[in-house]
């Protein structure tokens, strides 16, 4: 079989994770594990493998020395496709187009089986050529990154207990993109040196309830709606964090005057830059402020009954330097209603910031330029979404978030949405990136 044929077979297995673990199909994960053993025989013959937390897979490839190892992360699970309309069946892994336009359509093509399978291809190829890595290489493939991250948490704890202190941890995150920074014409490899914190707060309004035919002047649902609107109209303040400032200063060398001077002096021009970023679109706005958005609403269980409890779930993503306590304070001030309860359901503070200089960064940026193109500029940036990498920051300060795929705006927009896809030649180049990283 070819690498693409193996990739398509693994994409066809619907390893969907769900918020309720009881709804997860264990048989699909068992099929996926069996397919990995069959498709990558050298990996499973030469590497130590153990199953962690029920479905996560942890591999160790012994190296020649006992120097600090490399840890590569990916996740097996994908998000559901319920209610989505796709051009091609989401688990058929069909190829559309030919040549450089050939594209695989499938849930998980990018998030995150694209990286998982590319890593295995790189290791399998290296084993076939008799490669022995200079240091240990660990592959940690979580099973519930899209929901709770219990697999990654357990694997990170296991490595910590064994005294593993990596030289470099790499997980999914940024990609090679065009136009990420205004004024930079070259493609940029967006390497996450930190990620925002993630939390869910509940806004809760309570009342006595009763028949809907005799409502009070401000029922719980109306009080809650007012709170939601107040929160929307009072966003968090704009701020330029260290990772974003590093991105702009690094990008400055690839821009023309006068923009070059503006970016190089980001510590002075921060008010102008943050105002511009906030107005350019949702992605750039999220780089300069903590965001909060209501994602779920709950009220009465019946049409003719007043809600005794009205609840709104608020998804908050925190900038570097802010905490869950800071977010709770902002919510309280923005809503300005003591009769709305604010409850933290779950959350994590932002990750520490990894260095964008030094040996680990050079190893990544060298692999980018040698396999993805000399013209590609490696930029540090702030990862907007959460990843399994947050559980590994206690092991090393060199934790990065980057998937070696050149993605268009439309391809990035398809993540968690209909028609997720990846171009075949883009995916194959990603395998070469992991080979270069393994042999650096």
For residue 307, what are the β-bridge partners? none
Q: How confident is the model at residue 180 (pLDDT cuts 50, 70, 90)?
A: confident
Does 113 have pLDDT greater than 90?
yes
CA angle 217, 222, 228 (to 5 degrees): 150
| Percent of the chain at pLDDT exceeding 90 | 97
Domain boundary among 326, 348, 370: 348
Any long-range contacts for 408-412 (C-beta under 8 Å, 24+ apart)? 408/178, 409/177, 409/179, 411/110, 412/175, 412/177
307-335, pLDDT tens digit by residue? Answer: 999 999 999 999 999 999 999 999 999 99
d(CA 110, CA 404): 10
- From 291, 304, 316, select the one nearest 203 (Cα to Cα): 316
Q: How many domains does the chain have?
A: 2
d(CA 308, CA 205): 8
- From 13, 142, 27, 10, select the one nearest 76 (Cα to Cα): 142
Mean pLDDT (whole number) for 145-157: 96
Q: How confident is the model at residue 368 (pLDDT cuts 50, 70, 90)?
A: very high
- How far, in Å, are 113, 187, 277 from residue 405 at the CA level? 12, 11, 25
40-89, pLDDT tens digit by residue? Answer: 999 999 999 999 999 999 999 999 999 999 999 999 999 999 999 999 99
Residues 210 and 170 in one domain: no
- Are the C-beta atoms of residues 107 and 81 closer than 8 Å to each other? yes
Q: Which CATH number covers residue 45?
A: 3.40.630.10
What's residue 425's pLDDT? 98
284-296, pLDDT tens digit by residue? Answer: 999 999 999 999 9
Mean pLDDT (whole number) for 173-181: 93
Mean pLDDT (whole number) for 337-360: 96
Residues 229 and 144 in one domain: no
What's residue 440's pLDDT? 83
d(CA 393, CA 73): 13
Tokens describing residue 9: 């077979």
d(CA 144, CA 55): 9
Does 403 have pLDDT greater than 90?
yes
Q: How confident is the model at residue 18 (pLDDT cuts 50, 70, 90)?
A: very high
Mean pLDDT (whole number) for 131-140: 97
- From 35, 40, 70, 114, select the one nearest 431 (Cα to Cα): 114
What's residue 189's pLDDT? 98
Does 38 have pLDDT greater than 90?
yes
Q: Which CATH number covers residue 329?
A: 3.30.70.360
Domain coverage including residue 203: 197-348
| Phi (first) and psi of residue 110, to 5 degrees | -105, -45
Q: Which residues, including other chains, have CB under 8 Å from residue 39's CB and lie 6 or more apart?
A: 1, 6, 9, 10, 120
Does 178 have pLDDT greater than 90?
yes
Residues 41 and 151 in one domain: yes
Residues 387 and 322 in one domain: no
d(CA 429, CA 440): 17
Does 437 have pLDDT greater than 90?
yes
Residues 333 and 373 in one domain: no
- Are the C-beta atoms of residues 36 and 135 closer than 8 Å to each other? no
What's residue 289's pLDDT? 97
Span of 274-283, 326-335, 425-434 with lowest mean pLDDT: 274-283
The rounded mean pLDDT for the chain is 96
Residues 335 and 411 in one domain: no
Does 19 have pLDDT greater than 90?
no
What's residue 35's pLDDT? 98
Domain boundary among 332, 348, 364: 348
Domain boundary among 327, 348, 369: 348
Residues 208 and 171 in one domain: no
201-253, pLDDT tens digit by residue? Answer: 999 999 999 999 999 999 999 999 999 999 999 999 999 999 999 999 999 99
Residues 189 and 202 in one domain: no
Residues 311 and 362 in one domain: no
Give the pTM.
0.93
What's residue 182's pLDDT? 84
Q: How many CB atoms lie within 10 A of CB 332?
A: 13
Q: Which residues, including other chains, have CB under 8 Å from residue 380's CB and lie 6 or more apart?
A: 191, 192, 193, 243, 246, 247, 250, 356, 361
């Amino acid at each position: 079989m070819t690498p693409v044929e193996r990739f398509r077979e693994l994409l066809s297995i619907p390893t969907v994770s769900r918020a309720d673990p009881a709804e997860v199909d264990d048989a699909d994960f068992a099929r996926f594990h069996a397919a990995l053993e069959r498709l990558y025989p050298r990996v499973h013959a030469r590497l130590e493998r153990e199953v962690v937390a029920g479905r996560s897979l942890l591999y160790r490839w012994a190296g020649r020395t006992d120097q600090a190892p490399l840890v590569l992360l990916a996740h097996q699970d994908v998000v559901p496709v319920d209610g989505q309309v796709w051009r091609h069946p989401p688990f058929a892994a069909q190829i559309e187009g030919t040549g450089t336009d050939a594209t695989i359509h499938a849930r998980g093509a990018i998030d995150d089986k694209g990286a998982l399978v590319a890593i295995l291809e790189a290791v399998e190829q290296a084993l076939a050529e008799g490669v022995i890595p200079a240091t240990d290489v660990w592959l940690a493939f979580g099973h519930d990154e899209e929901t709770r991250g219990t697999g990654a948490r357990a694997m990170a704890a296991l490595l910590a207990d064994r005294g593993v202190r990596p030289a470099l941890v790499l997980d999914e995150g940024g990609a090679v993109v065009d136009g990420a920074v205004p004024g930079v014409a070259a493609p940029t490899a967006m390497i996450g040196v930190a990620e925002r914190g993630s939390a869910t707060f509940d806004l809760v309004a309570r009342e006595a309830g009763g028949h809907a035919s005799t409502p009070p002047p401000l029922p719980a649902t109306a009080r809650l709606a007012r709170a939601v609107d107040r929160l929307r109209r009072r966003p968090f303040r704009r701020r330029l964090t260290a990772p974003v400032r590093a991105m702009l200063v690094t990008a400055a060398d690839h821009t023309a005057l006068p923009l070059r001077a503006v970016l190089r002096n980001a510590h002075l021009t921060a008010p102008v830059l943050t105002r511009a970023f906030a107005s350019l679109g949702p992605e750039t706005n999220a780089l300069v402020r903590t965001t909060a958005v209501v994602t779920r609403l709950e009220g009465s269980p019946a049409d003719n009954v007043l809600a005794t409890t009205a609840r709104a779930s608020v998804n908050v993503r925190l900038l570097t330097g802010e905490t869950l306590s800071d977010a709770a304070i902002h919510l309280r001030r923005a809503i300005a209603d003591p009769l709305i309860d604010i409850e933290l359901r779950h959350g994590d503070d932002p990750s520490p910031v990894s260095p964008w200089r030094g040996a680990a960064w050079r190893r990544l940026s060298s692999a980018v330029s040698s396999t993805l193109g000399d013209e590609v500029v490696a930029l540090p940036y702030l990862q907007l979404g959460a990843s399994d990498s947050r559980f590994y920051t206690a092991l090393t300060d060199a934790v990065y978030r980057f998937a070696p795929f050149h993605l268009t705006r439309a391809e990035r927009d398809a993540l968690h949405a209909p028609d997720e896809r990846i171009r075949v030649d883009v995916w194959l180049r990603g395998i070469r990136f992991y080979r270069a990283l393994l042999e650096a």
